[in-house]
Amino acid sequence: MLPELTAPELHARLQNADDLQLIDVRQPEEYAYCRIEGSVLIPLGELAQRAGEIDPDRPTVLICHHGVRSMQALAYLQHRHELTNLLNLRGGIHAWSVQVDPSVAIY
DSSP bridge partners of 5: 89
CA distance 16 to 54: 22
Catalytic residue among 10, 34, 61, 64: 64
**34 among known catalytic residues:** no
Torsion of CA 74, 11, 90, 40, to 10 degrees: -40
3-class state of residue 38 by DSSP = coil
Residues tagged active-site: 64
